[in-house]
């Protein structure tokens, strides 16, 4: 097989879907914000509390359901994440790993090109070639409805769906953040689409 024939087998930039059982799993996590994403940071499925937490990543909004796009192209992200720079650098490092793993992924190439042309921090950090496997971290969010909330995210790889990661956020019991998460859950229940 020649080099030119290998180039014609590039992946499509279309967003994959998760299995119905993955959405049911997320929906069963009623007390935890959770979502499923691919390696390009496209959110493929999300539960109600996850949607309430990550309001800026709406698929119909400017981020088009992509966390990397939200982090680098939405000005609200720098306020939403208390340590935006760490979150942003971790995102670049994870995308760099994925770029090495799947160099012919057209969707990833297009995302990196878009972020490189529209975000100076992304462009600078991408050029530094840092890589870091990001599987979990404690983050502080400045949520517009409940205020400051500290959550620990765990990234879980799905054996049944290669390339799909579930991210679920936990909260320290009996903490102010737990109370704020309960408040957010109450708000989400009242404002859920019918």
Residue 159, pLDDT > 60, answer yes
In a domain, 26, yes or no: yes
- Return the higher-pLDDT residue of 152 and 131: 152
Q: ∠ CA 97-101-107 to the nearest 5 degrees?
A: 90
Q: How far apart are CA 1 and CA 146, in angstroms?
A: 57
In a domain, 5, yes or no: no
Tell me, what CATH number does 132's domain have?
3.30.450.180
In a domain, 11, yes or no: no
Q: Tell me the pLDDT tens digit for each residue of 14-66.
A: 556 789 999 999 999 999 999 999 999 999 999 999 999 998 897 777 788 99
- Return the higher-pLDDT residue of 16 and 115: 115
Percent of the chain with pLDDT over 70: 89
CA 120 to chain centre: 20
Contact assessment for residue 151 and residue 171, using Cβ atoms and an 8 Å cutoff: yes
Per-residue burial over 84-118, b = 16 or more CB atoms within 10 Å of its CB, e = otherwise: beebbbbbbbbbbebbeebeebebbbebbebbeee
pLDDT confidence bin for 153, thresholds 50/70/90: very high
In a domain, 12, yes or no: no
In a domain, 29, yes or no: yes
In a domain, 83, yes or no: yes
In a domain, 88, yes or no: yes
pLDDT confidence bin for 133, thresholds 50/70/90: low
Q: How far apart are CA 86 and CA 128, in angstroms?
A: 15
Q: Tell me the pLDDT tens digit for each residue of 59-97.
A: 777 788 999 999 999 999 999 999 999 999 999 999 999
- Record the tokens describing residue 131, joined without a space: 């890589």
Count other C-beta atoms under 10 Å from residue 148's C-beta: 12
In a domain, 2, yes or no: no
Domain ranges, residue 139:
18-190
Residues 6 or more apart whose Cβ sits within 8 Å of residue 143? 53, 80, 149, 180, 184
Number of domains making up the chain? 1
Contact assessment for residue 163 and residue 156, using Cβ atoms and an 8 Å cutoff: no
**DSSP conformation class of 88:** H
């Amino acid at each position: 097989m020649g080099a030119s024939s290998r180039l014609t087998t590039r992946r499509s930039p279309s967003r994959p879907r998760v299995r119905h059982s993955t959405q049911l799993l997320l929906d069963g996590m009623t007390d935890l914000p959770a979502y499923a994403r691919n390696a390009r940071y496209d959110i493929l499925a999300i539960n109600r509390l996850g949607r309430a937490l990550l309001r800026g990543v709406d698929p119909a909004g400017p981020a088009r359901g992509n966390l990397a796009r939200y982090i680098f192209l939405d000005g609200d992200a720098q306020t939403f994440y208390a340590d935006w720079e760490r979150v942003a650098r971790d995102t670049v490092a994870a995308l760099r790993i994925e770029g090495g793993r799947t160099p012919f992924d057209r969707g990833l190439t297009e995302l990196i090109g878009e972020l490189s042309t529209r975000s100076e921090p992304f462009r600078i950090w991408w050029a530094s070639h840092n890589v870091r496997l990001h599987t979990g971290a404690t983050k502080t969010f400045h949520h517009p409805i409940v205020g400051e909330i500290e959550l620990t995210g765990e990234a879980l790889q799905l054996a049944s769906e290669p390339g799909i990661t579930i991210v679920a956020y936990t909260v320290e019991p009996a903490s102010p953040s737990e109370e704020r998460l309960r408040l957010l859950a109450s708000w989400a229940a009242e404002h859920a689409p019918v």
